[in-house]
Amino acid sequence: MHNRSDMMPLAQRPAWLALKEHHSRLLKKDLRTLFEEDPDRGERMTASAAGLFLDYSKNRITQETLRLLTDLARETGLPAQIERMFRGEKINSTENRAVLHVALRAAPEDVIMVDGKNVIPGVYAVLDRMSSFVRKVHDGTWTGYTGKNVRNVVNIGIGGSDLGPVMAFEALKHYSRRDMTFRFVSNIDGTDFTEATRNLDPAETLFIVCSKTFTTLETMTNASTARAWLKASLGSDDAIARHFVAVSTNTEEVRRFGINPENMFGFWDWVGGRYSMDSAIGLSTMLAVGPERFMEMLSGFRKMDIHFRSAPLPENLPVILGLVSFWENSLFGCATRGIFPYDQYLKRFPAYLQQLTMESNGKHVTMSGTRVGYDTGPVFWGEPGTNGQHSFYQLIHQGTRIIPSDLIGFLHSLNPTGSHHTILMANLFAQSEALAFGRTPEQLKEEGVSEDQIPHRVCEGNRPTNVILAERLTPETLGALIALYEHSVFTQGTLWGIDSFDQWGVELGKILAKRILSELESPKNPDLSHDTSTNALIRRFRSARRQE
């Protein structure tokens, strides 16, 4: 339940008004000035937790900003909301659900009650079943229908049932079994399935059908195609039992599809799709890196969870990250945020964060259903460094829009190769410095640049960055990094007063296509009652199909 002060509109809160006033004064100061006035800020405006280090000094904030932001966090009830989440209260109010991804990585002795039942034993029961299944696949006790070992794993799922597993597989590839092949099919475009299975031997292939609801059109269509592909080669429906496992909350639909519920790994309605990669949805991750590494990843999540729940707000890493992002989005009007991991293994991390942040905080009404009077979730996007530097960084350095960004790097490489890692990190540090301080006309003049060239070469700087560092990319670091962003999303959502855990826009997408699908499938029916554009597009498709 929310108390009256939790429901007060943001724009009327005293801390918001103080923050706005402070913002208008701070607007006059760029990062250069802020560093001149407070030279030690680079050492002081940092925080560490769960093996991660955050330098947030190159944002346009002062100690006063942070104080006002934490005041606002308290006024909006953030500490109480954090407690409600960890205690299993139904803070996802539009779906009347608890929000308990933190239970997925809680310690075995923890107790979290949902509807009068401790959910932790259930979490560990599933983890134990996953581990035992993975061991059987790895040691060859679990074989395919013809007796061959499983050498290929194909994860079928979409959205939250895909992005986490793909990201984690790529991120932890260094630790993965190189004698197995892992593929991921999400798109309804038949090309995705065709290419993913092109050179695989069905007799050695295991499909994991990941779907919380087990009704998602894309996933069920791909799963049916996979079943037909397998049967065409192995010749019997009996083969399905050895080549298909399901991850779902919907036992009935799993059974209806033809997968024995004994080969199903469950999770719960209190795990949101985009918060599920550490549940059984991570089965492909466990198959890739083994149960021990998977548990190390969970322990990284847990360390960040404990920090988020217990650290004072001004020292709390996810809270600071969330507050800074809120400040830049809602006060400075920065509509997007760049995520630039300086690590090739994290190449899918920006795509993963895109869903986590934008599906969670892309909301236009508050918890009470009234329209917000401010911008909510920024657009997240990104690519690994240094690739981005040779393309879109131009706009970040010299464009007219300010794009705050997070640069993520590791002190040690998992693949030390000559001077590669030192060059990589030099680039990360140099970008953060250049974005903050730019190149002034005076500097350019001193360098002998001609007058007419100077305007083109000036980089104004004053572009904010966070730098996030860790020792090396381990399963534990990855868990901590994901939890950092999960909780920072929650922090921002709480300040905006929105429900970060529903996704009605995505649900709409799931039903929209169905009507048009039937119109495309029955081209004889001439009655189309859409707008003229949609009608014409449908006719064009029908006519192309007639000519096939």
Q: Which amino acid would we find at residue 286?
A: M
Phi-psi region of 77 (alpha: psi -120 to 50; beta: other; left: phi over 0): left
Q: Does 500 bind ligand G6Q (CB under 6 A)?
A: no
Q: What is the spatial distance between Cα 186 and Cα 183, in angstroms, rounded to a whole number? A: 10
Q: Does 158 bind ligand G6Q (CB under 6 A)?
A: yes
441-480 footprint of ligand G6Q as x/- string (CB under 6 A): ----------------------------------------
> Which part of the chain contacts ligand G6Q (CB under 6 A), choosing from 206-214, 258-266, 285-293, 435-443?
206-214
Q: Does 506 bind ligand G6Q (CB under 6 A)?
A: yes
Q: Does 216 bind ligand G6Q (CB under 6 A)?
A: yes
Q: Does 212 bind ligand G6Q (CB under 6 A)?
A: yes
Q: Torsion over CA of 334, 461, 349 and 45, rounded to 10 degrees?
A: -90
Min CB(59)–ligand G6Q separation in Å: 29
Strand pairing class (52-55; 46-49): antiparallel
Q: Does 187 bind ligand G6Q (CB under 6 A)?
A: no
With CB atoms as reference, the residue minimizing the distance to ligand G6Q is 159
Map tokens 């309804």 to a residue: 188
Q: What is the spatial distance between Cα 83 and Cα 89, in angstroms, rounded to a whole number? A: 9
Q: What is the spatial distance between Cα 105 and Cα 90, in angstroms, rounded to a whole number? A: 19
Q: Which amino acid would we find at residue 92?
A: N
If the CB atoms of residues 234 and 356 are measured against ligand G6Q, the closer one turns out to be 356
> Which part of the chain contacts ligand G6Q (CB under 6 A), choosing from 144-152, 211-219, 341-349, 449-457?
211-219
Q: What is the spatial distance between Cα 185 and Cα 390, in angstroms, rounded to a whole number? A: 30
E strands of 388-457, at which residues? 405-410
Q: Does 503 bind ligand G6Q (CB under 6 A)?
A: yes
Q: Does 77 bind ligand G6Q (CB under 6 A)?
A: no
Q: Does 213 bind ligand G6Q (CB under 6 A)?
A: yes
> Which part of the chain contacts ligand G6Q (CB under 6 A), choosing from 102-110, 113-121, 213-221, 524-532?
213-221
- The C-alpha angle with vertex 483 and arms to 303 and 503, in degrees rounded to 5, equals 150
If the CB atoms of residues 248 and 316 are measured against ligand G6Q, the closer one turns out to be 248
The answer to whether the beta carbons of residues 241 and 227 sit under 8 Å apart is: no
If the CB atoms of residues 70 and 488 are measured against ligand G6Q, the closer one turns out to be 488
Q: Which of 359, 383, 476, 519 is catalytic?
A: 359
510 counts as catalytic = yes
Min CB(270)–ligand G6Q separation in Å: 13
Q: Does 284 bind ligand G6Q (CB under 6 A)?
A: no
Reference 177, options 294, 290, 280, 277; nearest CA is 290
If the CB atoms of residues 245 and 425 are measured against ligand G6Q, the closer one turns out to be 245
Within a 10 A sphere around the Cβ of 498, how many other Cβ atoms? Answer: 22
Q: Torsion over CA of 218, 224, 230 and 233, rounded to 10 degrees?
A: -120
Min CB(67)–ligand G6Q separation in Å: 34
> Which part of the chain contacts ligand G6Q (CB under 6 A), choosing from 15-23, 172-180, 271-279, 387-395?
271-279
Min CB(428)–ligand G6Q separation in Å: 31
Q: What is the spatial distance between Cα 396 and Cα 324, in angstroms, rounded to a whole number? A: 18
- In sequence order, the β-bridge partners of residue 54 are 47, 468
How far, CA to CA in Å, does 154 sit from each of 5, 23, 184, 292? 49, 50, 6, 21
If the CB atoms of residues 511 and 544 are measured against ligand G6Q, the closer one turns out to be 511
Q: Is the peptide bond before 357 cis (omega within 30 degrees of 0)?
A: no
Among 77, 164, 202, 273, contact with ligand G6Q (rule: CB under 6 A):
273
What number of chain residues touch ligand G6Q (CB under 6 A)?
Answer: 15
Q: Does 493 bind ligand G6Q (CB under 6 A)?
A: no
| End-to-end CA separation in angstroms for the chain | 58
390 counts as catalytic = yes
Reference 10, options 77, 65, 84; nearest CA is 77
> Which part of the chain contacts ligand G6Q (CB under 6 A), choosing from 7-15, 193-201, 269-277, 431-439?
269-277
Q: What is the spatial distance between Cα 318 and Cα 496, in angstroms, rounded to a whole number? A: 16
Among 77, 144, 159, 164, contact with ligand G6Q (rule: CB under 6 A):
159
Q: Does 160 bind ligand G6Q (CB under 6 A)?
A: yes
334 alpha-carbon distance from chain centroid: 20
**Site for ligand G6Q, residues 357 to 386, rule: CB under 6 A:** 359
**Contact positions toward ligand G6Q, by CB under 6 A?**
158-161, 211-213, 216, 219, 272-274, 359, 503, 506
Residues with a known catalytic role: 359, 390, 510
